[in-house]
Chain A
Amino acid sequence: DTEVTQTPKHLVMGMTNKKSLKCEQHMGHRAMYWYKQKAKKPPELMFVYSYEKLSINESVPSRFSPECPNSSLLNLHLHALQPEDSALYLCASSQGANYGYTFGSGTRLTVV
């Protein structure tokens, strides 16, 4: 298995909802990432997990809460989001500093 699988592909949620995005990889990669991408902009790093521990938080608002339950799974819990949080959320994984990245196909999130 050489893929990063993200679910759901599309999500519409209200500002009072709680939802979660899921990312899964079975390549044994030790680092996993969450990125946020607005239309026609490059991805922006949100969080990095290395060996299941949070190693980078790019000053992301607390309404986004990451979780790494095991080495294959990365979640992003969403609560009380704002319409400006609507974006494509991309997950990626990597074996390490000298290796490439594998990206998922993303979750397109719309906050209404």
Chain B
Amino acid sequence: KNEVEQSPQNLTAQEGEFITINCSYSVGISALHWLQQHPGGGIVSLFMLSSGKKKHGRLIATINIQEKHSSLHITASHPRDSAVYICAVRRTNEKLTFGTGTRLTIIP
């Protein structure tokens, strides 16, 4: 079993829909990161969380440390949100452990 599990693996939705991507982890962490990767490869760091909730524009990320679970929400989804969303956890050293990613496709 992977230390970081994401669901769903693939998600297709209509433009405007509310999107939720889930991440569960099984190890102690110092922080959890949500990353976005577009086709072509570049990765953008969306959020770093160690507790609670963060919001940036239409994106909201939450984390429940006790339940070892985090969610990424996208409100009013748009085709430009189509990308792979990756959850990664940082333990006490320099290493990030990545989930396998959620491929999101927003249809106009």
Contact = CB atoms under 8 A, between A and B. Distances in A.
Interface stretch (A66-74, A75-83, A94-102): A94-102
A33 B93 CA distance: 13
Interface string B81-106: 00000101010111110111100000
Contact of A100 (B33, B86, B92, B98): B33
A37 B93 contact: no
Interface stretch (B11-19, B20-28, B40-48, B62-70): B40-48
Contact of B41 (A41, A42, A56, A106): A106
Contacts, number: 57
Contact of A48 (B45, B48, B86, B95): B95
B10 to A, nearest CB: 11
Interface string A83-106: 000001010100001111111111
A108 interface: yes
B27 to A, nearest CB: 15
A83 B65 CA distance: 42
A102 B101 CA distance: 18
A30 to B, nearest CB: 11
B60 interface: no
Interface residues of A, number: 25
B95 A45 contact: yes
B31 interface: yes
B45 A45 contact: no
Nearest to B88: A42
B94 A37 contact: no
Contacts of B44: 103
A21 interface: no
B86 A105 contact: no
Interface of A: 31, 33, 37, 41-43, 45, 48, 50, 55-56, 88, 90, 92, 97-106, 108
Given A43-B43, A101-B33, 19 more contacts: A31-B94, A33-B94, A45-B95, A48-B94, A56-B93, A88-B41, A97-B30, A97-B90, A97-B92, A98-B30, A100-B33, A100-B47, A100-B48, A101-B45, A101-B96, A103-B42, A103-B44, A103-B45, A104-B42
